[in-house]
Each structure stands twice: as C-alpha cells, then as structure tokens.
C-alpha cells in the first residue's frame, strides 16, 4: 500500500500527518506544530545535541531506543517510529523520571539550554544499558555540549543511574507500544508537497522503478550529510528517496572470507559488530561523530559523500573493501581503491545506489588505524591513518597504507608502501620510509590543520603503528 500519510506513535497514540513537507526537520515540527519547545535548536547541524530526541523502534521483536539529532532529521523519517520528547518523560503521577531526578539531585543544569538534550541522551542510555560504566557514559554524552554547568555534575547524575531498578511508564506501556508500532509498520510512503517529492519504498524493485523515473533524486540514508544542504546551505531538496524502509538493505553478513554490510546498516550497529574482527575499526568508529550521528549515519553514506576526511574511507582502502553498486538493470562491484575519482566524486552514476560494502578478512594481516582530531569526541579528522601489514620472518611482505585528510580524496601512500615491501620489519626501515610522505601527499592548510602538521602527524602515525606492532603494546590516550 502506498500512502502520503506518515504515521508514528506519540503519547501512546498513533499520530498521522498527511503530506508533510519532505524538507521540514523533526525539530521544526516538534517546536512549531506540536508546540513542544523543550527540544532546543543550538547549531542546526548535529554538533551540539540540544535538539536530541529519542526514537523507539522494534528490532528483533524488542523495543529499542535511540537518541537522534532532530535538527538534521527530516519529518517523513518519523514514519513507523515511537517519538519521545523531553516533555514526555514525566510519570503519570507527575513524578520525575529517574534521569530527571538525577539531573536535579546532582545539579546538572544551570542556564538550562542544553538540559533537555542531555536528559534525552541520559534517558536513552538508561533504557539501553543495564550496567552504566564510565565508558557507557562517555559514549552516551559525547554528542551533547554544555557551556555553563560543566560536565562533572551531569556525569555524576549519569553514574547515579547505574543499576537503578525502576519500572518507568515506558516499560509499563512496552507491549502496547510494540502493538501500535506493528500496526503502522507496513506503509510505503510517497509525498508530493509544493513540488517537493519524497519516496520511501519498501522493496528494491520499487526503489529501482523510482530511480529510473527520478535519476536526479537525492538518496537519503541517515541524512547526516544530506540534511545539512537544507539546514545549513538553505537549499531545497526537490526529490528525496529514502532507503530506510527497505529491510533487505539493513544487514551484516559474515562468511569465511568477508563481512558484507547492507547500505542502511547504521554505523552504531556496525561498530558493535566489527569489534570482534578489526578492533581499530571499532575504536575509530567510537570517535565518529556522536551516538546520535552513529545511530542513523551509514558507511554507504560516508562512501557516497566521498569527503577527503570521511573516517571509514582510509580504513576501507587499507582493508581493500569492495563497493557493491546497484543500477536499474545491473549490479557492479568496485574495489574501493578505484572508487574515488576526484574531490567528492566517485564512480557512482545517476540512477545507481550503493547496495552493500564487502570487507575481506585478510588472513594474517595486522591492521592498525588512528584518528587525529582537535576534539576527542564528535569532531571530524584532521588526519586519519590506516595501516595493514603482513610480516613473515621479520620481512614485510605486504604493506597497505592509506590516509584521510592528506589530499583531495582518501588515498594510499604508494611510495611508502613500495619502500616497505620486502624490507625488514625494523625501526630503521620505517624511519627511512616515512620521509617519502611528501612524495605521496601534498596536503593543504585549512582550519583543521596546517600542511606541516598533517605531514608530521602522518609520519608519526606510521611510526606509531610500527611501535605498537613491534612492542605488542597499544599506545593510546584512552587505553
Ligand atoms: C555532527 C556531525 C558529525 C560528523 N562526524 C563525522 C565523523 O566523525 N567522521 C566522518 O567521516 N563523518 C562525519 N560526519 C559526516 C556524516 O555523518 C557521514 O558522512 C555519514 O557517514 C553519512 O552517512 P548518512 O547515512 O548519514 O548519509 P546521508 O546524509 O543520508 O547521505 C550522504 C550522501 O550520500 C548519498 N547516499 C547515501 N546513501 C547512499 C547509498 N546507499 N547509495 C548512494 N548514495 C547514497 C546521499 O545522496 C548523499 O549525497 C558527521 C556529520 C555530522 C552532522
Ligand atoms: S541543534 Fe545542535 S545538534 Fe541539533
Ligand atoms: S546548562 Fe547552560 S549550556 Fe548547559
């Protein structure tokens, strides 16, 4: 069934919006139409967390909660979700929710502007974790900024929630919410409002049909890049095709030789999966944006954006990943090493979409990856370095080295690789090879880093990889 009505659960009821504006953000809907002004706008670009709301959805027959930035999420993406705002936390008998109580008790608020956003991040943390460790707290709060209280009282509030057993109203209403979500789950959405179109097909066949008709349409996955065209650059997106209702695109499959990640799999889901195979991939992802960003953002979106500082890209280059591209008629598989053509241009053609990404298990290879950014959390890389070595009897038989932030596309360091291959795995070899960095790269000065800084850091990261492997020891600020 195709409909121009989106449906979601709000306050234990099914809410319907007929033909919503596809460019309107959830934040603007919440504040302007629902008149719920607890949710704030700080930056309008996903960077401060003041607009954090929580969405509930069914996964493996369970209700899960994720925090998102409502300022960069388009209203139609609410379809099929449970919307939870800061105003909804209070219990039926007017008692504060435990996370609100904790914020009051530990003086987690001063001017109050950031407080609703922090409270929602704490709420999602509380609902998603039984044990609230320092690591869980760091991750939960990494996408929220406070400019006056400071973080210590908020962290204390978070710590006090550890192992707190309390049946909140969301727990009590869980079965009812699941029932309502199941009731509204099955619609395929097509909107046409003031010349702006939005499609959310449920099958790949329908997606192909829409792409054939609208090859210039913008494909929407998490929207953490695309939405900024509206919220920051004030553009109008005429035709959007959301992939998020296509269940067949949301998967992680493991075979003997590789891992395949479907296009709409969130970075958060992938981060948790990859930990067991490439731990440094997991560690870089933990510093990728914030939990709000990683709950919706995807690897496919990162690849299609093709930013020179896209964090997954040098890692995928080093691991020799494959990009599976689906066109209207055929599927093509590219090595990621040939996928990026020039600044933000890829081999993706109009009417095509990324179906999945395949990461091979390179048996025996040692994989290392590091992200350098001005802030530890929720910041884009200045330089990202990724390294894979095969070492046999102290000889380097394979060296694959890639950097982000060093040129107009994420790129391999071929001169350094050549120098390392067939050399001894020794400090002397690496010390000599790293001076070839300016043969491989000529980085620019910009607000994130100077050319010299980038060159120096790139050399140091290579050395760090050597020391970590040689000494069998991790050298990290957070280790
Ligand atoms: C606050 C903030 C912090 C961020 N931090 C980081 C960071 O630390 N590291 C980093 O690398 N990036 C970061 N980003 C950028 C962004 O989150 C990533 O590039 C993300 O991976 C994009 O994925 P998405 O699913 O949200 O893509 P979308 O925004 O949905 O799409 C991005 C582009 O890719 C296209 N596209 C999406 N999916 C497909 C597909 N399957 N096939 C073809 N085209 C497709 C879209 O049409 C669009 O042009 C950040 C962004 C924000 C707002
Ligand atoms: S308003 Fe800053 S993250 Fe949304
Ligand atoms: S309480 Fe003022 S910004 Fe956080």
Q: pTM of the predicted model, to two decimals? A: 0.97
Q: DSSP class of residue 394?
A: T
Q: Which atom of ligand 3 is nearest to the CA of 147?
A: 3
- Contact assessment for residue 362 and residue 388, using Cβ atoms and an 8 Å cutoff: yes
Per-residue pLDDT of the chain (479 residues), as tens digits, is 899 999 999 999 999 999 999 999 999 999 999 999 999 999 999 999 999 999 999 998 899 999 999 999 999 999 999 999 999 999 988 999 999 999 999 999 999 999 999 999 999 999 999 899 999 999 999 999 999 989 999 999 999 999 888 889 999 999 999 999 999 867 899 999 999 999 999 999 999 999 999 999 999 999 999 999 999 999 999 999 999 999 999 999 999 999 999 999 999 999 999 999 999 999 999 999 999 999 999 999 999 999 999 999 999 999 999 999 999 899 999 999 999 999 999 999 999 999 999 999 988 999 999 999 999 888 999 999 999 999 999 999 999 999 999 999 999 999 999 999 999 999 999 999 999 999 999 999 998 999 999 999 999 999 999 999 999 999 887 66
Task: Give the right CATH number for 2-87+174-242 from 3.40.228.10, 3.10.20.30, 3.30.1360.30, 3.40.50.1780.
Answer: 3.10.20.30
Q: Which atom of ligand 3 is nearest to the CA of 148?
A: 2
Q: List phi, psi (to 5°) of 133.
A: -90, 175
Q: Which of helix, strand or coil describes residue 32?
A: helix
Q: Is 43 in the pocket of ligand 2 (CB under 6 A)?
A: yes
User: Which H or E run includes 354?
Assistant: strand 353-360
Q: From the CA of 282, how far away is ligand 3's center (Å)? A: 31
User: Which H or E run includes 378?
Assistant: none
Q: From the CA of 305, how far away is ligand 1's center (Å)? A: 6
Q: Is 227 in the pocket of ligand 2 (CB under 6 A)?
A: no
Question: Ligand 2: which of 29, 46, 121, 142 to mutate, most ligand atoms within 8 Å of CB?
Answer: 46
Question: Ligand 1: which of 207, 224, 233 to mutate, most ligand atoms within 8 Å of CB?
Answer: 224
Burial of 273 (0-12, 13-18, 19+ CB in 10 A): middle
- Contact assessment for residue 218 and residue 226, using Cβ atoms and an 8 Å cutoff: yes
- Contact assessment for residue 219 and residue 243, using Cβ atoms and an 8 Å cutoff: yes
Q: What is the pLDDT of residue 479?
A: 61
Q: In the chain, what is the greatest distance between 2 CA atoms, to the nearest angstrom?
A: 72
- Contact assessment for residue 388 and residue 466, using Cβ atoms and an 8 Å cutoff: no
Q: Is 148 in the pocket of ligand 3 (CB under 6 A)?
A: yes
The domain locations on the chain are 2-87+174-242, 98-167, 366-470
Strands ordered across the beta sheet of 411-412: 366-372, 383-392, 395-404, 411-412
Give the residues across from 173 on adjacent strands: none
Question: Ligand 3: which of 49, 111, 151 to mutate, most ligand atoms within 8 Å of CB?
Answer: 111
Q: How far apart are CA 19 and CA 187, in angstroms?
A: 14
Q: Which atom of ligand 1 is nearest to the CA of 249?
A: 41
Q: How far apart are CA 408 and CA 341, in angstroms?
A: 10
Give the residues across from 396 on adjacent strands: 391
User: Which H or E run includes 137?
Assistant: helix 134-141
Q: What is the pLDDT of residue 193?
A: 97
Q: How far apart are CA 273 and CA 236, in angstroms?
A: 36
Fold of the CATH domain 366-470: Enolase-like; domain 1 (3.30.390)
Q: How far apart are CA 290 and CA 283, in angstroms?
A: 13
- Contact assessment for residue 298 and residue 267, using Cβ atoms and an 8 Å cutoff: yes
- Contact assessment for residue 7 and residue 184, using Cβ atoms and an 8 Å cutoff: yes
Q: How far apart are CA 268 and CA 248, in angstroms?
A: 18
Q: How far apart are CA 123 and CA 158, in angstroms?
A: 10
Q: Which atom of ligand 3 is nearest to the CA of 118?
A: 4
Q: From the CA of 211, how far away is ligand 1's center (Å)? A: 20
- Contact assessment for residue 4 and residue 17, using Cβ atoms and an 8 Å cutoff: no
- Contact assessment for residue 372 and residue 381, using Cβ atoms and an 8 Å cutoff: yes
User: The domain 98-167: what is its CATH number?
Assistant: 1.10.150.120
Q: DSSP class of residue 178?
A: H
Instruction: Determine which residue's CA is closest to atom 3 belonging to ligand 2.
Output: 46
Q: From the CA of 421, how far away is ligand 3's center (Å)? A: 53
Q: Which of helix, strand or coil describes residue 102?
A: helix
Q: List phi, psi (to 5°) of 36.
A: -100, 105
Q: DSSP class of residue 71?
A: G
End-to-end CA distance of the chain: 52
Helix axes 98-105, 152-160, angle to 10 degrees: 140
Q: Is 150 in the pocket of ligand 3 (CB under 6 A)?
A: no
Q: From the CA of 39, how far away is ligand 2's center (Å)? A: 10
- Please provide the DSSP assignment of 201-238 as one string: -SSHHHHHHHHHH-TTPEEESS-TTTTHHHHTT----S
Q: How far apart are CA 235 and CA 325, in angstroms?
A: 27
Buried b (16+ CB within 10 A) or exposed e, 312-325: bbbbbbbbbbbbbb
Q: List phi, psi (to 5°) of 470.
A: -65, -40
Examine domains 2-87+174-242 and 366-470 and report if their fold is the same: no
Q: How many helices (H) and strands (E) does the chain have?
A: 18, 21
Provide the token pair at 115: 């407080």
Q: Which of helix, strand or coil describes residue 366?
A: strand
């Amino acid at each position: 069934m195709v409909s121009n009505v989106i449906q979601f659960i709000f306050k234990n009821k099914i809410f319907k919006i007929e033909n919503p504006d596809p460019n309107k953000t959830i934040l603007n809907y919440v504040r302007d139409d629902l008149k719920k002004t607890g949710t704030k706008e700080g930056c309008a670009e996903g960077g401060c967390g003041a607009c954090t709301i929580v969405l509930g959805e069914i996964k493996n027959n369970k209700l899960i909660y994720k925090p998102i930035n409502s300022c960069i999420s388009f209203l139609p993406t609410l379809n099929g979700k449970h919307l939870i705002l800061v105003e909804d936390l209070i219990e039926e008998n007017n008692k504060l929710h435990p996370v609100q109580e904790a914020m009051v008790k530990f003086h987690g608020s001063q001017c109050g502007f950031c407080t609703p956003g922090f409270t929602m991040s704490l709420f999602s943390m509380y609902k998603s974790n039984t044990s609230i460790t320092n690591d869980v707290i760091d991750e939960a709060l990494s996408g929220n900024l406070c400019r006056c209280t400071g973080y210590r009282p908020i962290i204390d509030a978070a710590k006090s929630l550890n192992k707190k057993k309390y049946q909140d109203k969301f727990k009590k209403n869980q079965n009812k919410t699941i029932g309502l979500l199941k009731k509204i789950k099955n619609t395929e959405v097509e909107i046409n409002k003031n010349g702006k179109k939005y499609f959310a097909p449920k099958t790949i066949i329908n997606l192909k049909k829409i792409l054939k008709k609208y090859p210039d349409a913008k494909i929407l996955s998490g929207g953490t890049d695309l939405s900024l065209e509206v919220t920051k650059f004030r553009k109008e997106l005429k035709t959007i095709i959301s992939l998020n209702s296509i269940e067949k695109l949301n998967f992680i499959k493991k075979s003997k030789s590789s891992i395949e990640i479907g296009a709409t799999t969130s970075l958060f889901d992938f981060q948790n999966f990859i930990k067991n195979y490439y731990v440094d991939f997991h560690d870089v992802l933990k510093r990728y944006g914030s939990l709000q960003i990683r709950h919706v953002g995807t690897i496919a979106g990162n690849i299609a954006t093709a930013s020179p500082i896209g964090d997954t890209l040098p890692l995928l280059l080093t691991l020799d990943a494959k990009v599976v591209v689906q066109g209207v008629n055929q599927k093509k598989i590219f090595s990621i090493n040939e996928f990026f053509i020039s600044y933000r241009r890829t081999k993706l053609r109009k009417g095509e979409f990324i179906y999945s990404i395949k990461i091979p298990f390179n048996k025996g290879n040692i994989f290392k990856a590091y992200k350098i950014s001005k802030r530890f959390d929720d910041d884009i890389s200045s330089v990202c370095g990724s390294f894979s070595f095969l070492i046999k009897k102290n000889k380097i038989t394979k060296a694959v080295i890639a950097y982000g932030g060093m040129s107009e596309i994420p790129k391999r360091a071929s001169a350094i690789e050549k120098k390392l291959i067939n050399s001894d795995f020794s400090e002397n070899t690496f010390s000599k090879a790293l001076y070839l960095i300016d043969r491989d790269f000529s980085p620019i000065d910009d607000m994130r880093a100077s050319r010299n800084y980038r060159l120096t850091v790139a050399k140091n990261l290579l050395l760090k990889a050597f020391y970590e492997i040689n000494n069998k020891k991790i050298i990290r600020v957070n280790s």
